[in-house]
Amino acid sequence: MKIRLGISFSSTNFQNYRKWFDPEVHAGKVELLELNADSSTLSDFESCDAFVLSGGCDIDTELYQGEVNYPHKPEEFETERDHFEASIYLFAKEHQKPLLGICRGMQLVQIVEGGKLIQDLGEEANLIHKKAGNTDRKHSIHISDGSLLASISQQSSGEVNSAHHQAVDPTQLGKNLLISAWSTDNHSPEALEYQNKENLAFMLCVQWHPERMEEKEKSPFSENIKQTFLAAIIHSS
C-alpha cells in the first residue's frame, strides 16, 4: 500500500522534510501532502494516513498563557498556523492516526494537552541548544528505559542536533504525556510520548531535527524513527 503522509508547512527548511522521505517516495511507498493553514481543509486531513508536525517559529504565548515578553521572542507569531496544527493533532488523536512531532511540533503537543513551555532556556543553555547562525547545535541525550523511544532507537544515550531556545516545562507537563529523553547537558526534555498508550495511535515527539541530522540514514535517532513511524502507519491502516 502507498502511505499518504500529511506534513504541516513551515516557511523555514520545509524541503528537508521532503528530502527525509525521498527514498520512500521514489520507491512508491509514500505520497507526501503539504498541509497549509491557508489552503488545507478537513478533507485533506481525512485523506491522510498519518501526520508530521514540523518545526519553525515560536508558538503564540496566548495558547498557553505564557509571558508576553521574553528573550529571543520572534517579531511576529504565526497564530493561524498554531491553531491549524492544533487541529491536526486533535484530528490525529481522535481518529487514531500516527503522528510525529518535530521541535516546534513537540512543543505544540505539550501545549494542546494543557502543558507549559520554558519560554527561553537562558544564556548558558542556549549555547547548547539554540541554532548558531545557520548551523544546528549538537548535544548528548539520555533515553528513558522502557520507553517507546528506547525500543525504537535501541539506545540508552546518543548525540542529536538542535535549533531551539524554548523547551517543554517538565514541572507542568501536558495530560498523559511522558518525557522519554533528556538532554544530559542541562536536563531539558528531548522527547515526548503518551504515558498510557491504550487505544491511542503511535505518537512520538522529539525536540531535535531528525530530518536534517548529519548521516541521518545511519542514525538511530533519525532512520529508526522514520522507519518505525512508517511501519506504525501501515499497521494502523
Q: Cα–Cα distance between 224 and 108 in angstroms, integer?
A: 23
Residue 209 appears among annotated catalytic residues = yes
Neighbours of 28 (CB within 10 A): 8
Q: Cα–Cα distance between 89 and 193 in angstroms, integer?
A: 13
Active-site annotation holder among 190, 193, 211, 223? 211
Cβ pair 143, 181 in contact under 8 A: yes
Neighbours of 160 (CB within 10 A): 23
Task: Specify the DSSP class assigned to residue 61.
Answer: G
Residue 211 appears among annotated catalytic residues = yes
Q: Cα–Cα distance between 207 and 36 in angstroms, integer?
A: 22
Nearest to 206 by CA among 43, 46, 40, 54: 54
Output the CA–CA distances (angstroms, integers) from residue 226 to 70, 80, 102, 140, 218, in the order listed.
34, 28, 12, 20, 12
Active-site annotation holder among 24, 48, 78, 103? 103
Contacts of 218 (CB under 8 A, 6+ apart): none
Cell of 39: 489552503
Catalytically active residues are 103, 209, 211
